[in-house]
A and B are shown apart, each in its own frame.
Chain A
Amino acid sequence: MRSLFLRIFLWFWLAMAAVVVLLVVTSPLFTRSRPGLESWQRDAEDWARGRVDRVAGHVERVGIDELPKDRGPGHGRGRGGRPPSPAKIFVLDEEGNELYGGEAPVEARDLSLQALAQGEEIIERTGMLYLVARPVEGPDGRRMAVVAAHQSPPRLVHLMDPKALAWRLGVLFVVVGGLSFWLARTLSSPVAPLRRATRRLSNGDLSARVGEKASRRRDEIGELARDFDAMAERIEALVGSQQRLLRDVSHELRSPLARLVVALELARSRAGKGATKALDRIEREAGRLDELVGQLLLLERLEGRVDEGEGEALDLTEFLTGGVGDAGFEAASQSREINFSAPGPCRLTGRPELLRSAFDNVIRNAVLHTPSGTTVEVCLRSIETGVEVVIRDHGPGVAEVDLERIFEPFHRVDEARERSSGGVGLGLAIARRAIEAHGGILSAGVHPDGGLEVLAFLPISDSHRDDVD
């Protein structure tokens, strides 16, 4: 995942740097100045040499005293004329004392001593000065050095000096880097909180909002943040009202049922023997209504992930042993059996009421479809990432195309049989959502020897893993 920030940053930085470099390289100043630098150097050398010749010649013949007063930066042109940039001539003795030209720069003095020591002309170019030093001998034998010193070259030429150039480009890169960092930051910073808010919202935290900082921006991203918050607000309100509706519906549906049941008992105590059967029937239907209401509400809650309860530590083996035991009584009354096998205790974190719904529904479903005299097999086995519970019956199974459909609400494979048992087709839908609420998977397949095989997978966190045998 290439970071947005990184992309903006690098792009901008490199683009700016490329533009600057391109400009510099193709600029006529640059292309012209290179020769400019060289021609300056040539001129400087010519002038310096010329001057030094003249002064040295004079000094050798006549001595120091009659040198023309230094009238400062040149007079005339070319040889002996105007130097290409401010320049001066100095004459120094062996001890470095200035004999002519005024105060000489340190570099000139050093060079003169060096020239006297070496006994020959030395030319030196430093960043700021161009120097020519020539040792001479006066008529009195006195040894002296004539030094021509050019001061700093024209600004631009100085700029083109590689060292200075490199340094300046370096600073430029850093500054541009800083700017592009800031730009990338400003653009990509609201994305992270936006992403976080979106993720929290989709995970069920309806109070998730992007936050002040991003929403205050006046650009498109700010608008996006504000739109998101408005959307989250609306969803929270909708779901909130839906939750209230759920609770009210539950109350509203169950109130008449409650009255019905009490009235029924009153009727029983008053009615004669003949009415018993009908009253029993009424009681059964009332029970079905109640069951349906309960299942619908549970399904609704699981769908919307509305009730995120807390899990608790439980032993799945113990749990299923109990569940199978209970269902076993009922099954036995219909000459069917349930068999449960597990390697040992299996600890995980879960919500007992949901797991009970899930396994109850699947097991009862199996008992319903397995023929009389057969046994429903429930087995638990641990695998690398969690635990699998397989519930197998010996019934007719389900067609391949229906294997997924049976988990849809109100789907019934065999209308007649299921209706007579009181089911409404919600059992497996609830079971699936309950298992999924644990991060697991519920699926169905057909056993090669016949019958339906329902497989529930539940992940086990690392902390529990060691407990599974």
Chain B
Amino acid sequence: MSRVLLIDDDVELCELVVEFLEGEGIDVEVIYDGQTGLKRAQTGTPDLVILDVMLPGLTGFEVLRRLRETSSVPVLMLTARGEEVDRIVGLEMGADDYLPKPFNPRELAARIRAILRRADAGTENPSRLIVDDVIVDLGTRGVTVADAEIDLTGVEFSLLELLMHSAGSVVSRDELSQAALYRRTSAFDRSLDVHISNLRRKLGPALDGGDRIKTVRGVGYQYARSRRGSR
């Protein structure tokens, strides 16, 4: 099973993309419809799923939703419609990133590499980040909040890692975006905010009832340490 699974019904495009990616040393498996693609994603264990929004039968969003029920594999969505709402919906449903068509295949390759690298990095650097009741295990890439394990996507994990690393200080939007999405943020790019919002939701409220992640207008985000406890 290749590390990357591409689910897109545009046969010709897939052919070209696979040819390009293989030239870059990336192995890709292609499925042309949603239903089969979903099954393959669930049974095989790809390190990355590239998912097109417009699919026959099961739509891209449906596939994403069902996939997220059982797996937190990184998902990159391809959207041909380019409508703002599609991007936000996809991110809210748990996609890690989106790429509007037509896209530059070099950029696609760069992102794929970054995501795969992140998946590999896990095993090489065992250490833990602890702030208050949150424990981030960089080795297993597992996160527990008050001893309860929570499920985070790759992007969410990277964001939390970066924020907790600088707990108590602000991390700029640019820095967060570079680390988690491998690109600079632009003024109207909501992706980062959606991911932070998803992360907040999964972490839940802080020990003192407030927000764990504070928004610092015009600058970025900050992981807040609890008033009580260690400093």
Binding site for B on A (CB under 8 A): 247, 250-251, 254-255, 257-263, 265-266, 269, 286, 290, 294, 309, 318-319, 322-323, 326, 352-353, 356
Contact = CB atoms under 8 A, between A and B. Distances in A.
Main secondary structure of the interface of A (DSSP, over half): helix
A260 B104 CA distance: 10
A353 B80 contact: no
B103 A261 contact: yes
B80 A262 contact: no
Given A259-B12, A266-B19, A250 B103 contact: no
29 contacts: A247-B81, A250-B82, A254-B80, A255-B13, A255-B101, A257-B102, A258-B10, A258-B13, A258-B80, A258-B102, A258-B103, A259-B10, A259-B13, A260-B102, A262-B16, A262-B17, A265-B20, A265-B106, A266-B16, A266-B19, A269-B23, A286-B102, A290-B102, A323-B187, A326-B187, A352-B187, A352-B188, A353-B84, A356-B188
Return the 5 tightest CB-CB contacts between A and B, nearest first. A258-B102, A262-B16, A258-B101, A257-B102, A261-B102
Chain B interface extent, by class:
20 to 34
Report which residue of B19, B105, B106 has the largest number of chain A beta carbons within 10 angstroms of its beta carbon. Answer: B105
Interface in B76-134: 80-82, 84-85, 101-106
A265 B104 CA distance: 8
Nearest to A269: B23
A247 B53 CA distance: 12
A255 B10 contact: yes
Nearest to A301: B83
Interface of B: 10, 12-13, 16-17, 19-20, 23, 54, 80-82, 84-85, 101-106, 187-188, 218
Contacts of A309: 84-85
Contacts of B17: 262
B52 to A, nearest CB: 10
A259 B101 CA distance: 9
Given A254-B101, A257-B102, A318-B218, A262 B13 contact: yes
A81 to B, nearest CB: 104
B10 A266 contact: no
A247 B102 CA distance: 15
Nearest to A246: B81
A266 B22 CA distance: 11
A250 B102 contact: no
B183 to A, nearest CB: 16
A319 B10 CA distance: 38
Given A251-B54, A257-B102, A259-B10, A322 B187 contact: yes
A260 B230 CA distance: 57
Nearest to B18: A262
Contacts of B84: 309, 353
Contacts of A250: 80-82
Contacts of A266: 16, 19-20, 23
Contacts of B187: 319, 322-323, 326, 352, 356
Contacts of A251: 54, 80-81
A309 B84 CA distance: 10
